[in-house]
Amino acid sequence: MAEKPKLTQVFTNSHYATSFEAESDDEVYDARKEALVKSMLGEIGEDPDREGLRRTPLRVAKAMDFLTSGYSMSAEEIIKKALFAEDVKEMVVVRDIEFYSMCEHHMLPFFGHAHVGYLPDGKVVGLSKIARVVDVFARRLQVQERLTSQVADALMEHLGAHGVAVVMEASHTCMMMRGVQKQRSSTVSSAMRGTFETDPRTRSEFMSFIKG
């Protein structure tokens, strides 16, 4: 991919801006993806060559790459780089981790918050890494239930914890904008591993943390 300077400001009234924009119209980011988006625009009855849509295939291709960048990220790498020995026995809870994903049925966004807890077994991980692990699996085509258990399984496997708990609450735009059009509904999913699965007290301690 050719590296082009990023256009961060548009000076609409100058002659310079006009020539700069005309040049950036020729920018190619991913020819195949852009062609697919362009034909999709035609299929829905749009004119892909009208001014407002001319750069849309390029923008959609870039956005799609970002929104699915989780496929090329490794939860194991993220966790192992930030794992350190610490004699902590208490539960660690990270609440309200914002996430954005896309449903695999409609390729429409679903988004919400994740709450993650774990019971360390001699090792703790940098807290920001837990949020990054959520992104590794959120930035793919997903169903919320699988996303939840993938986050739990990855943490359980690479953290060497006594247990891991993940609760996710999300709004699905495919339900809000189409289908049943229920704007206010939200979906809650949970995955409990290790002590969170076997010990009801551990589980309810976690649930009380994420409610408070």
* Residue of 46, 106, 157, 205 marked catalytic: 106
Annotated catalytic residue within 103, 142, 150, 158: 103
Quick one: DSSP state of residue 139?
S
Tokens of 127: 């807290």
Q: Does residue 105 carry a catalytic annotation?
A: yes
Q: Does 143 bind Zn ion (CB under 5 A)?
A: no
Q: Does 97 bind Zn ion (CB under 5 A)?
A: no
Backbone angles phi, psi at 15, to 5 degrees: -60, -35
Structure tokens at 138: 């959120």
Q: For residues 123 and 86, is the Cβ–Cβ distance under 8 A?
A: yes
Residue 113: CB atoms within 10 A of its CB come to 16
Judge whether 144 counts as a catalytic residue.
yes
**Smallest distance, Å, CB 177 to Zn ion?**
10
**Catalytic site includes residue 174:** yes
- Backbone angle region of 49, left / alpha / beta, with phi > 0 → left and psi within -120 to 50 → alpha: alpha
Q: Smallest distance, Å, CB 148 to Zn ion?
A: 16
Of these, 50, 59, 81, 105, which contacts Zn ion (CB under 5 A)? 105
106 annotated ligand-binding residue: yes
172 classed as catalytic: yes
Residue position matching structure tokens 């310079």: 16
- Is 103 a binding residue for Zn ion by CB under 5 A? The answer is yes
In the complex with Zn ion, the residue whose CB is nearer, 78 or 102, is 102
103 is in an annotated binding site: yes
> In whole angstroms, what is the distance from residue 190 CA to residue 145 CA?
8
Cβ atoms of 162 and 90 within 8 Å: the answer is no
By CB under 5 A, residue 147 contacts Zn ion: no
Please indicate if the annotation marks 174 as binding a ligand: yes
DSSP 205: H
Q: Which entry of 34, 115, 142, 144 is annotated as an active-site residue?
A: 144
Is 182 among the residues that bind Zn ion (CB under 5 A)? Answer: no
How far is it, in rounded angstroms, from Cα 188 to Cα 167?
7
Among 21, 46, 157, 174, the one annotated catalytic: 174
- Rounded to a whole number of angstroms, the minimum distance from the CB of residue 174 to Zn ion is 3
Instruction: Let me know if 15 is a catalytic residue.
Output: no
Residue 174 binds Zn ion, judged by CB under 5 A:
yes
146 lines the binding site for Zn ion (CB under 5 A): no
Residue 169, burial from CB neighbour count under 10 angstroms (0-12, 13-18, 19+): middle
Binding residue positions for Zn(2+): 103, 106, 174
Binding residues for Zn ion (CB under 5 A): 103, 105-106, 174
Catalytic residues: 103-106, 144, 172, 174
